[in-house]
Amino acid sequence: METKHGIKASPGIAIGPALVLDTEGVRIPRRTVPPEQVPGELARLQVAIHRATADSRAREQEMTTRLGKDIGKIFASHALLLSDQALRYDIEMLIKAESYSAEYAVSRCIRARVKGLDDTGNEIAIRIRADFIDVEKQLLHVLLGEHPESPDALTQAVIILAHDLTPSETAIFNTKTVQGFATESGGPTSHTAILAEALSIPAVVGLGKLLADVSGGDIVIIDGDAGVVIIEPDEETLARYLERMQSKADAPARYEELRDTESVTKDGVHVELLGNIEFPTEAAACIEKGAGGVGLYRTEFLYVNKTGDPTEEEHYAAYREVVAILGPTRPVIIRTLDLGADKFSPATRGIQEKNPFLGLRSVRLCLQNRPLFKTQLRAILRASVFGDLRIMFPMVSTILELRQCLSLLREVEEDLHDAGIDYKPNVPVGTMIEVPSAAIMADVLAKQVSFFSLGTNDLVQYTLAADRDNETVANLYSPVDPSVLRLIHMVSQAGSRQGIPVNVCGEMSGEPVYTALLLGLGIRDLSATPRKIPEIKHVIRSLTIPEAERVAQDALQMETARDVASYLRGHLRRFLPELAE
């Protein structure tokens, strides 16, 4: 038995025989052609682009029908890239100037763009890089007339193992036969990971060296909850995972009765339980799973893979759609633009940075592009008339940044007032606590806002200087590292002293093993992916606050993340064993 640790991409457990996909990729038979064949190569390119675009549009329609329009947009972005006139012009120029074959020109041109996106550290750049590679494969398969064996033709259940998978490859998986997958590369925010979760396929990515250690037919366990892959498990391990699979299969019926019950501890303390969404259509899942509203509405989808920045009306429509689904009384917390200075819209095009994680991103970018920022703020304020909308600024690191954001919001309010446009005055405004400087200064920031929201994903990686998407240092990334727990406790205490709620909206809030700890640290607001809400509500209703406080006190005395994690698992195992693994 061999255990591999990677990055959680899609939850769930899958067990089955391994199918190792070919990792050699597409071979280009020739680099150049005689000059007299250049017109023919240009014609071949035109045909390939047309066919690949049609295939992407067909895949968009298929995925929209199966999984919703937001998943379909992934393939719309492929069609958008294929119809990019600048990309086509650059490929054609390589064919004309260098007498390159159409295949080689496609590969050279797209790889140059991919190289420009390498090592940026930005999750949106990672997605776009993967989209370019996907488009390259589509064009090369058309040009070379290749039709590689497809997993959608499988007749028996398997676990897919590959170096990497593109969204197009993942989209054709038949969920009756592809039980799960694992890849050597990739991250949890990639389009492939998003598709896996939408398809309910357990997945682990970023495993590093894997394929050399597996043979086709080996029994493999994919633990998407823990980010673990087990090759050729022993009988005891296999039996344990089979039992867990059965428990998970029974869970929906077990938690269904909790949907309309209050999120309250055994001793009567209310805990606000909200949902995280990335697209407007996901708001319905919050209601379905028993959330009290939306605690994190990411708005980056409005900007990504677009030929221009979104208009005020596009923003307004997206916010009104969520309010229409949730109704006028449920809170909806909208996070303003949280992108880095990458080539994703005209507003940010041309800005090059050596270290985007520590550069011009989020509110820093917005404060340098005030028209962009004002457009979003105007739309939020206009939509606030119809519901309980709240505004949240991401990646604030200093009190000056926060004051500048608040000042700009007041300017927008004055503009709307002078124009006679309806808006709700005194919309609640909060700030995310995602960097150590903000956590340390929480007592000062708390005087300026109506609420805090702890973005634990970024807080962990900035505190520990460890990128969770980098498999070589992923072992250092732990939300229960003692340094992180002390910062969370510090922020919770600062919020309590000022009388403002402190929400946790990172992945930590959606893991049952951390619920008692967070409540014990003083957190009374949690926001998680909708599918996680029933489990978290179950844990909340099984705890008392004094018990949670004892858990937190014990954890704060420990010196290593390993000790804390082991302690928390042991505690959960004692009173909710079905959730402890």
d(CA 385, CA 382): 6
Structure tokens at 426: 């005194």
**Each residue of 390-444: pLDDT tens digit?**
999 999 999 999 999 999 999 999 999 999 999 999 999 999 999 999 999 999 9
DSSP conformation class of 4 = E
**Can you give the pLDDT at residue 306?**
66
Structure tokens at 361: 């991103």
d(CA 46, CA 51): 9
Task: Provide φ and ψ at 4, rounded to 5°.
Answer: -115, 140
Structure tokens at 439: 């956590």
d(CA 235, CA 272): 42
**Can you give the pLDDT at residue 198?**
76
Residue 12 Ramachandran class (φ > 0 left, ψ -120 to 50 alpha, else beta): left
Q: Which helix (H) or strand (E) holds 204?
A: strand 203-205
Domain assignments of the chain as residue spans, ordered by start: 2-22+149-233, 35-144, 252-271+467-581, 273-427
Structure tokens at 342: 């990458």
Annotated binding site: 298, 335, 434, 457-458, 468
Query: Residue 205 forms beta bridges with which residues?
Result: 7
**CATH number of the domain at 273-427, please?**
3.20.20.60
Q: Which residues of 471-493 are buried (b: 16+ CB within 10 A; e: fewer)?
A: beebebbbbbbbebbebbbbbbb
For residue 232, give the 3-state DSSP assignment.
Answer: coil
Cβ atoms 123, 98 nearer than 8 A: no
Which parts of the chain sit beneath pLDDT 50?
23-24, 148-149, 341-347
**Can you give the pLDDT at residue 528?**
93
Are 35-144 and 252-271+467-581 in the same CATH fold? no
**Distances in whole angstroms, Cα of residue 236 to Cα of each of 1, 231, 232, 241, 373:** 11, 14, 12, 9, 56
**Can you give the pLDDT at residue 417?**
95
d(CA 518, CA 74): 35
Structure tokens at 459: 């807080």
d(CA 101, CA 109): 12
**Can you give the pLDDT at residue 442?**
97
Residue 33 Ramachandran class (φ > 0 left, ψ -120 to 50 alpha, else beta): beta
d(CA 451, CA 294): 14
d(CA 461, CA 448): 26
Structure tokens at 242: 């089979």
Nearest residue to 132 (alpha-carbon basis) of 184, 168, 103: 168
d(CA 412, CA 374): 7
Q: Which helix (H) or strand (E) holds 304?
A: none
Active site residues: 191, 505
Helix locations, 22-122, DSSP H: 38-67, 69-82, 85-98, 102-117
d(CA 116, CA 107): 14
For residue 223, give the 3-state DSSP assignment.
Answer: strand
**Can you give the pLDDT at residue 343?**
36
Topology (CATH) of 252-271+467-581: TIM Barrel (3.20.20)
**Can you give the pLDDT at residue 531?**
85
d(CA 316, CA 145): 45
**Each residue of 219-236: pLDDT tens digit?**
999 999 889 999 999 999
Long-range contacts for 540-544 (Cβ within 8 Å, ≥24 apart)?
A: 540/263, 540/264, 540/265, 540/271, 540/273, 540/515, 541/258, 541/261, 541/263, 541/264, 541/265, 541/266, 542/266, 542/575, 542/576, 543/265, 543/266, 543/515, 543/516, 543/519, 544/265, 544/266, 544/267
Task: Provide φ and ψ at 411, rounded to 5°.
Answer: -60, -40
**Assigned CATH class of 2-22+149-233:** alpha beta
CATH superfamily of 35-144: PtsI, HPr-binding domain (1.10.274.10)
Structure tokens at 5: 């640790």
d(CA 118, CA 126): 8
**Can you give the pLDDT at residue 48?**
92
